[in-house]
Amino acid sequence: MSTEVFRDAWGIPHLRASSAHELAFAQGRNAATDRAWQIEVERHRSQGTTAAFLGADAVGWDRFARQSRLDDTARRCFRSLDAETAAWVESYVDGVNAGLAEGALRAPEFASTGLAPGEWQPWTPLGIWLATHILFAGFPTKLWREEVARRLGDDAITLFATDGPGTSGSNGWLVTGERTATGAPLIAGDPHRFIEDPGVYQQIRLACPEFDVIGLAVPGIPGIAHFGHTNSVAWAITNAMADYQDLYRERLRRSTDGAGDVKVVEALGPDGWRPATAHTETIEVAGGDPVEVEVIETERGPVIIGGPGDEMVVSLRCPTRVYEELGFGALPALLRARTVDDVDRAVDQWVEPVNVVQAADTAGGLLHRVAGRVPLRHRDNGLRVVPAWEPGHAWRGVHEPMPRADVSGVAVMANQRGLAAPLGVEFAPPYRADRIKQLLDGSKSWSAPDMAAVHTDTHLASARPLLGMLSGLDGLSPQGERLRDQLLRWDRRMEADSTDATVYAAVRTEVVRRLAAHPDLAALTEPVADPSYPGVFLPWLALTPRVGFALATLLTTDLLPGIDRPAAVRAAVEAVAAASDTPTMPWGDVHRLTPWQAVESAPPGGWPGLPGDHDCVLSTSSVPGVTDRCARGPAARYVWDLARREDSLWVVPLGASGVPGDAHHHDQMPLWLRGGLVPVTTEWNHLTKENHDPRDPRDR
């Protein structure tokens, strides 16, 4: 069998080859032709070279990528792969290199930025994975907690503990056969990430004599890591919200080496001053002067803040760098999985990010577990920046075995404190998980199409504390009373056509801003102005977003007795009621999608408005108190049917193609907006075959 490329009606690629390695080549080539700009941007992000074509605004990321040693870690992890997995990854890279020139000709961003496609190395996919997920667990939150403890006291260190603006989350649920119309399980959900254009997930099918898998791939990465269906077994993940990256406060000094004439960097550890590695790298900047970066690594890890002579110096310790493993051996193993036991063994290899995994097979097997590597260490390591020179903060092995649970009826994962509770500090509030469970308990005959109603539920349970405080207010102005009564009648649904939702969001914004401006919290406005903190960490250090995401807690906590919460709510209501532009627009008119793009552009008419909100099952996140625009939401939706794979459904927010102007660039957007799903096509004779052979040099 020669390598073949087919497309369905939505332009989704279906690849078929005579071997797993031929198929990996075809997948790499397809990523290059369909997503050339996207994967080249990601390659440069992993190397810390984006400023060379994106300009000075990209220097902050490039500095962090260099200092955290992403590319070097990728090389080390690649060298640790078993020979078979390494060869499989290399086949993928060969395919990317074979298709990049063609893909670059199709993508106008290359010409507009002057970027020329480069040569991928065998470890490049590992570097892309690291760059995509290095901030996934939100280690900069420890910088924030340190500031909270320093300014408000240790008792307040978890005051703002919730999934906030810098984290990534997901919904996922498994419905067993006794609750479905077919008697076979369903797995459904939606990963929540920053919405990117092109999208971070690519719908794809990979088939060869060994396996035939549909799923959501990450462009630039071989295989199907997170969401897949092999016909006999299906799996999905959510962020476990585990804490597995540590920050150490370092003391650095320069001293002469043995010859007495070369300055070397030393770091103070539990055993005294020890040598650190140090070298200088240069970041090229389009339209600007080159920037030199000193890259230092102590025995704890790479230094990401400060250097010798600075008061604040912080290093980062990650499992991938410590163990020189990323878990890529799980990827080909998942493709070959036939049962939940196969999935279970495959994800045993996983390192980071740490995920909650659900799986079901056609033989009745079920799986609900955590996968990844979480170090064992002092409790303070998980909470804050710990002193490198004090004993007791070293890692001492890993959590084993990882938590798992039996499945009965339904199992819900929505980043809540639950299965992974022993492994983390900050979890999502239970609103999404509780609502999904409530909805699923409403039927015992679920089908794949029915799941759209769960995906798109807009009930906002987190409004309860604010509305409860609102209901207790008296002595309001007539306008304030009318607004209060309007909100108390509201059905608490953040629907796109709801003006009540817009009014609620306006009141919430005013409450958040008033709390953030209160003198008891005023000191927490200072971290973002501290020049010690690199810009890449500032989203985690901004007070107003922190207040916005933790509002339910801040309205009910006893830890801030100096803040008159009812007075803040009263003032917010009166301010909104008195405004000449009191909100009358539908929520979708202000809650508009704002995807991330390396080179900004918008479709004709602009980006669409959205239903939903951060704590809805339809988690389209704005930043309360800052903006109603949405940058994070469902980066895909899926329903895996174990009765008949061809009855499975999926959708992405944009489309299958990463090429502007292509018919399939944004063609799934209308479906995604209204909660629709694209049918999974599995019959080859229902697909359209492309005319070229990806292995044929004449077609390169």
What is the pLDDT, as a whole number, of residue 173? 98
What is the pLDDT, as a whole number, of residue 700? 36
Residue 146 to residue 460: CA distance in whole angstroms? 31
**CA-CA distances (angstroms) from residue 47 to 68, 96, 101, 279, 314?**
11, 17, 20, 16, 21
Q: What is the pLDDT of residues 474-517, one digit of tens each?
A: 999 999 999 999 999 999 999 999 999 999 999 999 999 999 99
What is the pLDDT, as a whole number, of residue 584? 83
Bridging pattern class, strands 688-689 and 186-194? unpaired
What is the pLDDT, as a whole number, of residue 164? 55
Please check the confidence at residue 692 and state whether its pLDDT lies above 90. Answer: no
- Quote the pTM value: 0.95
Please check the confidence at residue 585 and state whether its pLDDT lies above 70. Answer: yes
The ranges assigned to domains in the chain are 141-166+459-492+499-585, 246-322
What is the pLDDT, as a whole number, of residue 529? 87
Average pLDDT on 286-297 reads 98
Residue 310 to residue 534: CA distance in whole angstroms? 13
Residue 59 to residue 232: CA distance in whole angstroms? 47
CATH class in words for 246-322: mainly beta
Q: What is the pLDDT of residues 2-21, one digit of tens each?
A: 899 999 999 999 999 999 99
Q: What is the pLDDT of residues 157-171, one digit of tens each?
A: 988 877 554 556 899
What is the pLDDT, as a whole number, of residue 163? 59
Return the ∠ at Cα 527 (arms to 62 and 147), rounded to 5°. Answer: 110
What is the pLDDT, as a whole number, of residue 695? 45
Nearest in space to 229 (alpha carbons), one of 356, 401, 103, 358:
358
* Dihedral sign of CA atoms 654, 655, 659, 663 in order: negative
Question: What value does the mean pLDDT of the chain take?
Answer: 94
Please check the confidence at residue 454 and state whether its pLDDT lies above 60. Answer: yes
Nearest in space to 42 (alpha carbons), one of 598, 659, 535:
598
Residue 565 tokens, joined: 């919460």
Residue 372 tokens, joined: 């990844």
What is the pLDDT, as a whole number, of residue 158? 85
**CA-CA distances (angstroms) from residue 279 to 60, 139, 227, 264, 316?**
18, 25, 40, 10, 17
Q: What is the pLDDT of residues 226-259, one digit of tens each?
A: 999 999 999 999 999 999 999 999 999 999 876 6
Please check the confidence at residue 22 and state whether its pLDDT lies above 80. Answer: yes
Please check the confidence at residue 699 and state whether its pLDDT lies above 50. Answer: no
